[in-house]
Amino acid sequence: MITGAINKPAGRALLPLAFGAWASAVALVPSLSAKLALAGILSLGALAWWVLLNPEVWVGLFFVCVFLTPPLPIPLGDAGVHVAPFVVALGVFTAIVWHRVWRPISHPMVFAFAGFLAVLLESSGLAALYSGPAIGLGSFARVVLFSIGVFTFLYAYAGPARPALRTSRLLFGLGTAGALFACVDFYYQFPAPAGYGDQFVWLDEGVLRRAQGLFYEASTLGNVCAFFLVMIAVSLFRKRGETPWGKRALVFGGLALVTALMFSYSRASVFNLVVAVGVLAWLRRRQLRRAFLWMAVALTAAIVGVRVIFPSFSANYWGRLLGSFSFFAQTPDKILSGRLSHWQFLLDFLANSPWHLLLGVGYKTLPYSNFTGSTIVADNTYLGLLVETGIIGIAAFAILNILILRTGWRALRSSNPTAAFLGEWIFCFWCGELVQMFSGDLITYWRALPIYFWVLGAAARCTEESLTQ
């Protein structure tokens, strides 16, 4: 049955027989717990078989799991075990089964990703050498998590796929649903089912956990909200048929996303959004008035809504945001939450041990190892990569980012409306992302990167397809 692809009619003909056997097995099992366990296992098997019969639906299933499922309450890693990597394993198996329908993989991004992954793998070996096998294994696990985003890029670029706008519509719907949950979760402070970021806001009502949504880390939520707000801004300059949703739906989603971004308390994500919208304004400088009117309506409504519903938070938020600019010259390290001290510590380490500049001390070891003298969070993608992977790593990362921007730029200049939409979206957002990387380790956002890299891969695919038509 499997000869490079599954015979769909034969596979679907087996479904009634499989369902009958499933129902009989559940009926014959004596205890209720055993019935539920068997039903759950067989349901997962049926879901996997459905994906194997319809490989184009894997991306949608994966994104549903990424957005709407929390970490499982299993004490492993920083935040527990998540279901998404298991769905990725199903995607890899599906890709192998359907390898004959894949397009040739020859885009420069593929080689850039391969080079960067090779550097990270080599660095995880250094992590084991310098900091011990346990930390080395953790480093390798981080490389595997980053590779999920790479696989998603490959699936979007060369694998079996639905029309890109349909998947974009699903992404925006999931992003809006996730933002709405984050807002409700912040207001009611639901108990987190697994590990979460130790991030709080001190208000008159008490100490509240910052909005983290189902990501359970506020900066990741803020970053994802900025991503979809950039999508809204790009959509406002395009015709209805060239965008996933109409303007009313976009404004409604924008209300939820802006509110969740505020509740996340992530200043860096706000700055990311400002940079991205600034780049878009430069690209669209002749068409600004109407689009920015819609953006102003959504932004004003969200700000007023937060002010009415949660006045103490609104006052605290704007005081913190405006204070970041007013008092930066006086106490820059305090405004940056101690980042300057961390950066100085790492620069001193490199000055005292310059031989580590070439290959680094091991990827993702700084927060867990005392090799540099103390465990420390770099809170800077570039400096962290320099210390952990050396000049070779930062050079590979620079090439990767240049090609991401180049791919987005080529797509936004395409005659294909879908390619142009996706290209403008990822190009503007990644400009903001490159700025935000100065204040956070954004390449560890393994649940967010696949979303961004899917848009990148779909933009590259649509661009190439438009050239061959």
pLDDT tens column, 158-173: 999 888 999 999 999 9
Overall average pLDDT of the 392-416 stretch: 97
> What is the structure's pLDDT at 399?
98
pLDDT confidence of 401, banded at 50, 70, 90? very high
pLDDT tens column, 276-312: 999 998 998 877 766 666 666 766 777 777 777 777 7
Residue 116: name the closest of 363, 371, 460, 368 by CA: 363
Residue 352 CA to residue 338 CA, distance in Å, equals 22
Residue 305: name the closest of 464, 180, 172, 450 by CA: 180
Overall average pLDDT of the 265-278 stretch: 92
> What is the structure's pLDDT at 1?
39
Q: Token digits for 387?
A: 């210390």
| Tally of CA atoms within 13 A in the half-sphere of 94 that contains its CB | 27
Overall average pLDDT of the 14-23 stretch: 52
| Tally of CA atoms within 13 A in the half-sphere of 331 that contains its CB | 7
> What is the structure's pLDDT at 313?
77
Q: Is the pLDDT of residue 4 over 60?
A: no
- Helix, strand, or coil (residue 203): strand
Strands (E), 247-379: none
pLDDT confidence of 207, banded at 50, 70, 90? confident
Overall average pLDDT of the 199-220 stretch: 85
pLDDT tens column, 106-160: 899 999 999 999 999 999 999 999 999 999 999 999 999 999 999 999 999 999 9
Contacts of 141 (CB under 8 A, 6+ apart): 77
Rg for the chain (alpha carbons), in Å?
23
Q: Is the pLDDT of residue 22 over 70?
A: no
Residue 239 CA to residue 247 CA, distance in Å, equals 10
Q: Is the pLDDT of residue 9 over 70?
A: no
Measured N-to-C along each axis, helices 108-131 and 449-468 cross at an angle, to the nearest 10 degrees, of 150
In percent, the amount of the chain with pLDDT more than 70 equals 83
- Please tell me which of 5-14, 178-187, 329-338 the model is most confident about, judged by mean pLDDT: 178-187
Q: Is the pLDDT of residue 3 over 60?
A: no
pLDDT confidence of 25, banded at 50, 70, 90? low
Q: Is the pLDDT of residue 455 over 80?
A: yes
> What is the structure's pLDDT at 55?
94
pLDDT tens column, 333-370: 666 677 889 899 999 999 999 999 999 999 999 999 99
Q: Is the pLDDT of residue 11 over 80?
A: no
